[in-house]
Structure 1
Amino acid sequence: MDMGTPAAAAAAVAGRRRSRLRPPHRAWLVAAVTFLVLLASAAFRSSLGILLVPIEEDLGWTRADTSLAVSLNLVVYGLAAPFAAALLDRVGVRRTAVGALLLIGAGCLATTVMTAPWQLSALWGAVVGVGTGSVALVFGAIVAGRWFVARRGLVVGVLGAAWATGQLVFLPLLAAVVDAWGWRAASLAVALVCVALLPVVAAVLRDRPADVGLLPYGGTAEDAAPGDGPPSARAAVAHAVTVLREVSRTRPFLLLAGTFFVCGWTTNGIISSHFVPAAHDHGMPATTAAGLLAVVGVFDIVGTIGSGWLTDRVDPRLLLAVYYGLRGLALLAVPSLLGPGVEPPLLVVVALFGLDWVATVPPTVVLCRTAFGPQRGGIVFGWVFAAHMVGAGVAAAASGALRAASGDYTPAWLLAGAVAVTAAAASLVLPRPGPGATRPA
């Protein structure tokens, strides 16, 4: 047809109009609901830090009593991820999300009537830990892997931003609820949010695009082929352990788990756990320090989404080297910048923390998938994420011990900076990703 004729021009206009009227691919709606689940889950997991002092003052418990719940929550949260990744193939995305929200809601609701410290450890440490760990970064990575081929790195970045932002940005809001109505009101609010999310999750989430007659976004029929999941929940758990045994001695896994161990050390381990008390040592009000952490969460949105976009286009090993290197330099600078007030150089470092906070997630997800294949990649990333949370736990304890031994957090900041620089070097010797891993979307 001659495109210069009036008929051809009219046809072209009609085609563009139909394209504009065509609804967006369901994958974007699934990603949006997954974003909400990850945002809420991360906020719920980190909210215990806001509740500790009010719980201690109200119930007469000691810091040792409540710290056990914090430690257990971190460990269970991390270890739940690889098993949740395996169970996803058996139970499904929607059932996993619904079950996790029910666990979180029930655990938070039950804390409002607890009377003994062991109940906090059981409820928030174990029950909420399993629930939040089941819908953490690994959950988002698997959803992105199933529903997206094009823009996969970008979507992983967006979902990673939800996880990190939920940990930091909502802390001031939860603190305001505690100040106004008490810690029980905050626990009840968490439970109510879980209930409100349940119908949305049930209506929108599906296990795979094929369940609603679709191909993955930007994908082909080959990309839509479902994997052979384990025949039972017990087999799924065994499969997670088998995958760990198979990959645990391989060079790619050791490097990926080791660098992500450092990621947990240098984020949740020292910044989330010790930035506020370290700033307090230098005369900064706790509210000001908490506000700076919220700023980290805001900048993380830009950094993680940007990292997802870059992961679709740049060698993920180079990205990891840059991220860990910049984080190391920022950590090394912290001791000389903390003081009673917030000076411009500290704001620059805080912004850098935010841009770099979970920027490591998209390239790490891609490297797990390309190194171990789409069938094992999600479970492998689950174990790598478990290493992240173990690193966070070790760093939280080590940083506190260094503070107690020296009377100052400077050794802890310097150690964190050193391990970050080491992770930057280790990233450069990771295996090269396979063909297409960074193709433009």
Structure 2
Amino acid sequence: MFVDKVKIFVKGGDGGNGMVAFRREKYVAEGGPWGGDGGRGGNVIFEVEEGLRTLVDFRFKKQFKADRGEHGRKKNQHGAGADDLIVRVPPGTTVRDAETGELVADLTHHQQTAVIAKGGRGGRGNVRFATSVNPAPQIAENGEPGSERWVVLELKLLADVGLVGYPSVGKSTLLSIVSAAKPKIGAYHFTTIVPNLGVVRVDDGRSFVMADLPGLIEGAHQGVGLGHQFLRHVERTKVIVHVIDMAGSEGRDPYADYLQINEEIRLYKQNLENRPQIIVANKMDLPDAKEHLELFQEQVGEDIPVYPISAVSKEGIKNLLFAVADVLDRVEAEEEQKVEEVQEEPVVYKSEAEEPAFTIRKENEIYVVEGFRIEKLIKMTNFRFQDSLMRFANTIKQMGVEDALRKRGAQEGDTVRIGEMEFELSDGLDTDY
């Protein structure tokens, strides 16, 4: 089963909790803090596996969660970090954030990796908080939560050449005779509903990968028919081979089909219209094909070469393959030249306008404080210890939360919610949860 688009959930492992502990040894009076840090949570890492050709495995498993780090221990022993979770994907996989559509990773070559969800750092033990003012702190952090997100995986085939055209113009037949690929072939539209790949070898020793892609119809750029499933794969190809039924089967107009397919490609992504394209006039063994070819050549212009072939009788195939290989050589040479001409320039990072540290809204009678930093602080504070509670209250005050609440009209005794916890507003945000 060929699957080229899936949506999955990934979560990095939470960090291990830090520990509150004190030395309790014979002959050591009033031993100091001795609680270790928690270990780092595991990352979720995608790695390209060359042997994979589809995303079908993700249809049956849609959640990937890395392990959390170990908790800190006594005697200032730190918890072990968790192993990263490695998820194998086929070459040509793009990863996008499901909510924002942002491109997270574009994975194209074997063993290429990308961190998709980061694990949280381990919480600090009370050894980290010892000061001259408070040499025996009862403070330890909980581990930082690992990042989590829904992502959309799309597979775009990595082929040198892509066969495009209306359904039933002979793309699958052409691939079957120029390579060892065995695509399904039938006398009805959309016989090909999944892409097929084949390695084509030219008589002079050159070779390239050719993809037979599902047929296009009008409106494909909007997803009509197999539109988006097909067009996504065209993006990766270096050369487009546009196959046209020159016999005009089913009463079709070859030139109108040619214009429509190119329009669908342009509307899907404008830069695709500049992709090198070879026009193939197929079914030249059928009646009226020669007359149609003469008219077609006049319509497209004499300066645009058209390669007449018959995929059934194999007429004209050798000339076509040499032409494809020549164009591909030229494209690859131009790409190499562009790489050589690119000079490394210093990257300037511009600071974007920072998002507010927190926002406040009122939900019925409750003041809700929201913000990434403050919500993470809540999750990493161990409220079982008074020192941790006081540290949290001081941090909140320094961030300006208390002043902002009062400006919004909050009074003594009003309920404030941060994350999943609720507090009663007073000097220092007394807790009542």
TM-score higher than 0.5: no
Greater relative contact order (Cα 8 A, min sep 6): structure 1 or 2?
Answer: 1
TM-score (normalised: structure 2): 0.22
Decide which structure has greater helix share. 1
Structure number with bigger Rg: 2
TM-score (normalised: structure 1): 0.21
